[in-house]
Amino acid sequence: MPSLLELIVLAAFGLGLVVPAWWRSLGKRGSAWTAVVPGGLFVWLAAMGPGEQTSFRPWAPDLGAELAFRLDPLSWIFCLLITGIGALVFLYASGYFGDDPATGRFLSTLACFMGAMLGLALADNAILLFVFWELTSITSFLLIGFKSAKEKARKAAIQALFVTGAGGLAMLAGLVWLGLESGTFRLSEMPALPAASAGAVPILLLVALGAFTKSAQFPFHFWLPGAMEAPTPVSSYLHSATMVKAGVFLLARLNPQLGELPLWTPLLATAGALTLLTGGLLSLRATDLKQILAYSTVAGLGALVLALGVGGESGAKAFAAFLVAHALYKGCLFMAAGSVDHEAGSRDVRELGGLARLMPWTAAGAGLGMLSMAGLIPFLGFVGKEYLIGAALKAPWTLPAVIVGAATAGWAGFQTAIRPFHMGSTPEAGHEAPWSMRVGPLVLGGLALALGLLLPVMDAARLNDVGAAVWASGDTPQIKLWAGINAELMISLASLALGIILFVTWPRWQQAVVERADRVKFGPAEGCRALLEVMPKLAGFAAAPFQQGRLRIDLLVVVLTATLLPAIALLRHGGLSGDLELTMPLIHEVMVVAAAVIGAILSSATQSRLAAIAFLGVSGFSTALLFAFFGAPDLAVTQLLVETLAVVFFVLVFSKLPRFAALGSRWVKLRDAAIASAFGLVMTALVLAVLSADPMTPVSAQHLALSVPEAKGANVVNTILVDFRALDTLGEITVLVLAALGVFSLLRMDREEAEAAA
Amino acid sequence: MELLLAVGIGALFAVGFYMLLRRSVVRLLLSFVCLSLAANLTIFTSIGLQRGRAALARAGEAAPEGPVADPLAQALILTAIVISFGVLAFAMVLVKRLYMVHGTEDLDLMEPHGDSPEEGSGR
């Protein structure tokens, strides 16, 4: 019976399994109902609360892998975000896709992603965590490239997989190393890594590489804006609210183990600040609603890494508050942007305007999200921004980045929620999005307001517990809505003012910035693209000497390698110096071996096709005789049957073809003969080397002893085939069936053509 | 005897590879047969030869008595014989098809994308 925590993960994957059939039978209405599963999980998790729960099941104990799950405040809040936003996204997707026949496939992949993400959040074992981590990368790949007919979507999907996959490998190395160093792979039992240990620096760097690629930190940020090729439900779910936070989650999860290392703060704070700066500044050049939001998501992720890097109480508070605030307002704004795209047919902020009259609900939801994003009291975004600035004050050199990030975040909010809706002239055509697409922005925006408003009364999102889980000092921080008039508030207001100035002056500078930015043709994204182009070329260059596209030349390389390498190995290990017990051959054995060899040689020499087949038949029958001489009656019988059938087939299929043409010059024949002879010589030596090696107890001793009592068979070869190694025989039969099917279909093709020609 | 068989195996491998390197596709098939024989004999010989002693238990015996030929190697070879026959049958039909589509059995005359008149119908 699966535990509660396992059930949560299984439910999501189960949804993925049944959704295609569900959608086929219920259609558009059915897709809206899929939101019930994540919604139900959300309610269940919310009712359960963040109290600690664990579940354990052995998996591969020798490898340190176990199905260990653990619920704590950090994983609880992640699960709530995953299921809560998940429910809204499922609902949203049902309206977004409507009757599109690909909806079933889309929702199924989305549900599998949700399962992987829940598993990632709940995993308490490093190996298990990695498995779910990779699953999120793969589902993300499938979802980014969902419109697979679009080349741009495919390229973006490959780029995202390339970057996150490479980072995932580095992370695996780091996690394994960390597990070996701490003696356990159970995350909750891992002690803090001592700074003096040999692996401290490389472990941190490897794990950080995984986290930075996943969470789009500078200089790996470029894949995230590219991922905007995905349908908007994906962008709002994976690429703003959940998956991209997996890297941040990993760092928060390992904060107790790695947070005390001296490199932690400089590494994370620098990466976070740089990412904040990069994302914020790059967002200014974007005119596509989704691109603006994508770059500001990059900045938001940078802010979270920065908060973790600063650490301590202020870092933990900033992380907890901003994590939830960001997920809410970004999910909200992405959905609103998708609705605009869906209904107005454009995402270019330069073309949109006056949509508030047509889409009042979407405009209202986006407005709420925007106010939170800009950091206005009493929204949760205000709290997050406040504490973020507080954390930055602890590492003052990051303050400029935070101010730029906050100002551009405000600008991005206004740009996506005011300009398309409340400015410019209302287009004639267009209408409000369907209700299923209105719910998401309104609920998320409303939550951003409610959670902030409620904060003085109750900590509904349990932010203080989340902060305590990250802080790992045993104390619980106190997150407040209003911390009084202090430096943070002043900086917050200043950055808000800066954001407003940017917004108001945008029409004046946008053209110059966009044009100048378009001229930049270098950067990490171009580097990645070049790498992807260079690697196949490099591989082709390396393979060219050995594979020239001519079968025989390729074969020659293989034969020569198979000759030279064993020859070198034989010579280096003293050749055939071992004891070789030889028995004298009997006269009939000599004759049979001679017949086999002569048959083969004649078969290769004759020009007549029929003679060649007959001569090779001699070799085959001689081999059957050899089997019979040396105690293998089964082999002898089989070989006889097969040989007979083969000769008959050969004659049937090829008798009508002309004689072999004499192809190839004398020189080529001599060369091939020399190489083939050398290979034959090496094989002879190998057989003798094997025979002269020290005898070992054969595996078959067991078969001989057990054949009669256990398998009830007197013929040990037969009992091995049908009893001890029955699965091998099943595989063999499968191969035969496949071959027979192939023969059948090819022959039928011939016959159909003959009939068509007649 | 081992020496004799080892030399025989070497000869079969040599002839097999020599045929593999020819331009005729049908020779390719024959070389496949020859190489299968050589490979099976290699396993058979390397495990150690036992004249006339099959791994069979007489009636009433709990196990075959005395030194017998290794049954596991035989089981492996038996599987190999049968599978190589299946592959051979498929390869034969495939080669015949190749010949019909290209009108030649010379590998060097077969164009990668086919320029023979039958190409269109050969798909």
Q: With an 8 Å Cβ cutoff, are B30 and A556 in contact?
A: no
Q: For chains A and B, count residue pairs whose Cβ atoms are closer than 8 Å.
A: 283
From B51's Cα to the closest Cα of chain A, the distance in A is: 4
In order of A366, A528, A749, B109, the CA distances from B115 in angstroms are 62, 40, 20, 10
In order of A200, A572, A685, the CA distances from A576 in angstroms are 50, 11, 8
Q: How far is CA A549 from the centre of its chain?
A: 33
Q: Report chain B residues whose CB lies below 8 A from the CB of A716.
A: 55-57, 64, 68, 71
Tokens encoding A733 = 């039969």
Of the candidates A667, A292, A408, A590, which has an alpha carbon nearest to the alpha carbon of residue B3?
A590
The mean pLDDT value of chain B amounts to 83
Q: Name the percent of chain A lying above pLDDT 90.
A: 50
Q: With an 8 Å Cβ cutoff, are B121 and A687 in contact?
A: no
**What average pLDDT does range A445-468 have in this prediction?**
87
Q: With an 8 Å Cβ cutoff, are A717 and B26 in contact?
A: no
List the single residue in B with minimal CA-CA distance to A609: B26
Out of B8, B59, B75, whose CB is closest to A725? B75
Tokens encoding A350 = 């330069």
Q: Is the pLDDT of residue B118 over 60?
A: no
**What average pLDDT does range A651-656 have in this prediction?**
78
Of the candidates A22, A71, A19, which has an alpha carbon nearest to the alpha carbon of residue A49?
A71
From A553's Cα to the closest Cα of chain B, the distance in A is: 8
B119 Cβ under 8 Å from any chain A Cβ: no
Neighbours of A483 (CB within 10 A): 14
pLDDT band at A616 (very low <50, low <70, confident <90, very high): very high
| Interface residue of A587, A623, A682, A697 to substitute, partner B, most B CBs within 10 Å | A623
Q: Name the percent of chain A lying above pLDDT 70.
A: 98
Q: With an 8 Å Cβ cutoff, are B45 and A687 in contact?
A: yes
**What average pLDDT does range A326-331 have in this prediction?**
94
pLDDT at B116: 44
**What average pLDDT does range A642-665 have in this prediction?**
79
pLDDT at B28: 87
ipTM of the modeled complex: 0.89
pLDDT band at A214 (very low <50, low <70, confident <90, very high): very high
Neighbours of A218 (CB within 10 A): 21
From B32's Cα to the closest Cα of chain A, the distance in A is: 11
Cα B78 to Cα A577: distance, rounded to the nearest angstrom: 32
Maximum Cα–Cα distance across chain B? 69
Q: With an 8 Å Cβ cutoff, are A630 and B51 in contact?
A: yes
B81 Cβ under 8 Å from any chain A Cβ: yes
Q: Is the pLDDT of residue A518 over 80?
A: no
pLDDT in tens, A553-593: 888 888 889 899 989 988 887 666 666 777 888 888 999 99
Q: With an 8 Å Cβ cutoff, are A680 and B54 in contact?
A: no
The mean pLDDT value of chain A amounts to 89
Decide: helix, strand or coil at residue A715: strand
pLDDT band at B115 (very low <50, low <70, confident <90, very high): very low
Q: With an 8 Å Cβ cutoff, are A638 and B3 in contact?
A: no
User: For residue B106, what are the β-bridge partners?
Assistant: B24
In order of A242, A337, A426, the CA distances from A331 in angstroms are 9, 10, 25
Give me the sign of the Cα torsion angle A81, A84, A88, A89: positive
pLDDT band at A117 (very low <50, low <70, confident <90, very high): very high
SS3 per residue for A151-204: HHHHHHHHHHHHHHHHHHHHHHHHHHHHHHHHCCCEHHHCCCCCCCCCCHHHHH
Q: At what angle do helices A487-519 and A399-417 cross, to 10 degrees?
A: 70
CB A206 within 8 A of CB A170: yes
**What average pLDDT does range A102-119 have in this prediction?**
93
From A715's Cα to the closest Cα of chain B, the distance in A is: 5
Domains of chain A: 275-544 (no CATH), 551-698 (1.20.120), 699-758 (no CATH)
Q: Is the pLDDT of residue B121 over 60?
A: no
B61 Cβ under 8 Å from any chain A Cβ: yes
Q: With an 8 Å Cβ cutoff, are B7 and A631 in contact?
A: no
Quote the Cα angle for A49-A53-A59, to 5°: 140
User: For residue A348, what are the β-bridge partners?
Assistant: A288
pLDDT at B120: 40
> Which residues 652-681 of chain A have a CB within 8 Å of chain B?
653-654, 657, 660-661, 663-664, 672-673, 675-677, 679-681
Q: Is the pLDDT of residue B1 over 70?
A: yes
User: For residue A58, what are the β-bridge partners?
Assistant: A66
Q: With an 8 Å Cβ cutoff, are A690 and B46 in contact?
A: yes
Q: Is the pLDDT of residue B78 over 50?
A: yes
The lowest-confidence range among A37-41, A62-66, A259-263, B56-60 is B56-60
List the single residue in B with minimal CA-CA distance to A556: B21
Give me the sign of the Cα torsion angle A150, A156, A160, A161: positive
Give me the sign of the Cα torsion angle A123, A127, A129, A135: negative
pLDDT band at A658 (very low <50, low <70, confident <90, very high): low
Q: With an 8 Å Cβ cutoff, are B12 and A740 in contact?
A: no
pLDDT at B123: 35
pLDDT in tens, A263-311: 999 999 999 999 999 999 999 988 899 999 999 999 999 999 999 999 8
pLDDT at A527: 83
> Which residues 676-735 of chain A have a CB within 8 Å of chain B?
676-677, 679-684, 686-688, 690-691, 695, 698-700, 703-705, 707-709, 714-717, 720-721, 725, 728-729, 732, 735
**What average pLDDT does range A18-28 have in this prediction?**
84
Q: Is the pLDDT of residue B122 over 60?
A: no
pLDDT band at A475 (very low <50, low <70, confident <90, very high): confident
pLDDT at A485: 84
Decide: helix, strand or coil at residue A578: coil
Q: Which string of DSSP letters, residue by residue, matches A347-366?
A: -BTTT---GGGT-HHHHHHH
Q: With an 8 Å Cβ cutoff, are A631 and B34 in contact?
A: no
pLDDT at A170: 95
Half-sphere exposure of residue A254, counting CA atoms within 13 Å on the CB side?
31
Is CATH 3.30.160 the right assignment for the domain spanning B2-50+70-122? no
**What average pLDDT does range A712-721 have in this prediction?**
88
Q: With an 8 Å Cβ cutoff, are B45 and A691 in contact?
A: yes
